[in-house]
Structure 1
Amino acid sequence: DGTGTPSSEEYKGLPENPFKLAKDERFSTFSADVDTASYSNIRRFLNEGRLPPPEAVRIEELLNYFDYVWREPAGAEPIALSSESAASPWSSGRVLLALGLRTRTVSAANLPPANLVFLVDTSGSMSDPDKLPLVKRAFSLLTETLRPQDRVSLVAYAGSAGLVLPPTPGTEKGKILAALEALESGGSTAGGQGIVLAYDTALQNFRKGGNNRVILATDGDFNVGLSSESELVKLIESYRNRGVFLSVLGFGTGNYKDAKMEALADKGNGNFAYIDSVEEARKVLIEEMGATLLTAAKDVKLQVEFDPAVVKSWRLIGYENRILSKEDFTDDKKDAGEMGAGHRVTALYEIEPVSPSPGAGLGILRVRYKRPDQDQSAQLDLARGAAGDSDRRAEFISLAEKASALKLSRPGLPTGRRRPERREPDVSTTGRAGLRGRPVSGTSAGRRPAGPSP
Structure 2
Amino acid sequence: MFTKSTALAAVALLCFFAACNQGGRHMSTDNVAIKDVTLTTTDTTMVAESNKLDEAKPELPINTEDYDNIIENRFLSPLKKPLSTFSIDVDEASYSNVRRYLQEGSLPPAGAVRIEEMINYFDYDYEAPKGNEPFSVFTEIASCPWNTKHQLVHIGLKGKEIPTDNLPASNFVFLIDVSGSMVEPNKLPLVQESLKMLVDQLREKDKVAIVVYASNSGLVLPSTNGSNKAKIKEAINNLQAGGSTAGEREFY
TM-score, length-scaled by structure 2: 0.67
CA–CA distance in structure 2, aligned partners of residues 6 and 123 of structure 1: 12
CA–CA distance in structure 1, aligned partners of residues 218 and 166 of structure 2: 32
- The 3-state SS of whatever aligns with 1:180 is helix
Q: Equivalences for 1:184-263 in 2 at 5 Å?
A: 184-190=240-246, 224=248
1:192-243 deviations in whole A, cap 9, x for unaligned? xxxxxxxxxxxxxxxxxxxxxxxxxxxxxxx739xxxxxxxxxxxxxxxxxx
- The 3-state SS of whatever aligns with 1:162 is strand
Match of 1:13 among 60, 66, 69: 69
Match of 1:166 among 219, 222, 225: 222
CA–CA distance in structure 1, aligned partners of residues 104 and 185 of structure 2: 15
- The 3-state SS of whatever aligns with 1:96 is strand
CA–CA distance in structure 2, aligned partners of residues 141 and 94 of structure 1: 43
Match of 2:106 among 50, 54, 57: 50
Are 1:132 and 2:195 counterparts? no
How far apart are 1:123 and its partner, in Å? 0.6
In terms of mean alpha carbon deviation, does 130-139 or 17-26 score higher?
130-139
Flag structure 1 segments of 5+ consecutive residues without an equivalent.
191-222, 226-454
CA–CA distance in structure 2, aligned partners of residues 44 and 12 of structure 1: 18
How far apart are 1:181 and its partner, in Å? 2.2
- The 3-state SS of whatever aligns with 1:60 is helix
AA in 1 matched with 2:82: R
1:370-400 deviations in whole A, cap 9, x for unaligned? xxxxxxxxxxxxxxxxxxxxxxxxxxxxxxx
How far apart are 1:125 and its partner, in Å? 0.5
Q: Which residue of 1 aligns with 2:177?
A: 121
- The 3-state SS of whatever aligns with 2:235 is helix
CA 1:26/1:149 → structure 2, altered by over 3 Å: closer, same or farther? same
- Deviating beyond 6 angstroms after TM superposition, the runs of 4 or more aligned structure 1 residues are none
CA 1:93/1:128 → structure 2, altered by over 3 Å: closer, same or farther? closer
CA 1:6/1:88 → structure 2, altered by over 3 Å: closer, same or farther? farther
- Percent of residue pairs identical: 48
Are 1:86 and 2:110 counterparts? no
Q: Which residue of 2 aligns with 1:303?
A: none
CA–CA distance in structure 2, aligned partners of residues 23 and 6 of structure 1: 51
AA in 2 matched with 1:24: K
- The 3-state SS of whatever aligns with 1:27 is coil
- Give yes or no for contact 2:207–2:226 (8 Å, CA) kept in 1: yes
AA in 2 matched with 1:62: M
AA in 2 matched with 1:52: P
CA–CA distance in structure 2, aligned partners of residues 88 and 123 of structure 1: 47
CA–CA distance in structure 1, aligned partners of residues 177 and 63 of structure 2: 21
Flag structure 2 segments of 5+ consecutive residues without an equivalent.
1-60
- Give yes or no for contact 1:34–1:61 (8 Å, CA) kept in 2: yes
CA RMSD of aligned residues (A): 2.4
How far apart are 1:111 and its partner, in Å? 4.6
AA in 2 matched with 1:90: W
- Give yes or no for contact 1:152–1:169 (8 Å, CA) kept in 2: yes
AA in 1 matched with 2:131: G
AA in 2 matched with 1:130: N
How far apart are 1:25 and its partner, in Å? 2.1
Report which of the two structures shows the higher radius of gyration computed on alpha carbons: 2
How far apart are 1:87 and its partner, in Å? 1.6
Are 1:141 and 2:141 counterparts? no
CA–CA distance in structure 2, aligned partners of residues 151 and 20 of structure 1: 50
How far apart are 1:135 and its partner, in Å? 2.3
Match of 1:70 among 82, 104, 126: 126
AA in 1 matched with 2:191: V
CA 1:6/1:112 → structure 2, altered by over 3 Å: closer, same or farther? same
CA 1:156/1:85 → structure 2, altered by over 3 Å: closer, same or farther? same
Are 1:180 and 2:236 counterparts? yes
CA–CA distance in structure 1, aligned partners of residues 130 and 220 of structure 2: 43
Q: Which residue of 2 aligns with 1:34?
A: 90
CA–CA distance in structure 1, aligned partners of residues 184 and 162 of structure 2: 35
- The 3-state SS of whatever aligns with 2:148 is coil
CA 1:129/1:55 → structure 2, altered by over 3 Å: closer, same or farther? closer
TM-score, length-scaled by structure 1: 0.39
- Give yes or no for contact 1:83–1:100 (8 Å, CA) kept in 2: yes
Q: Equivalences for 1:303-314 in 2 at 5 Å?
A: none
Higher strand fraction (1 or 2): 1
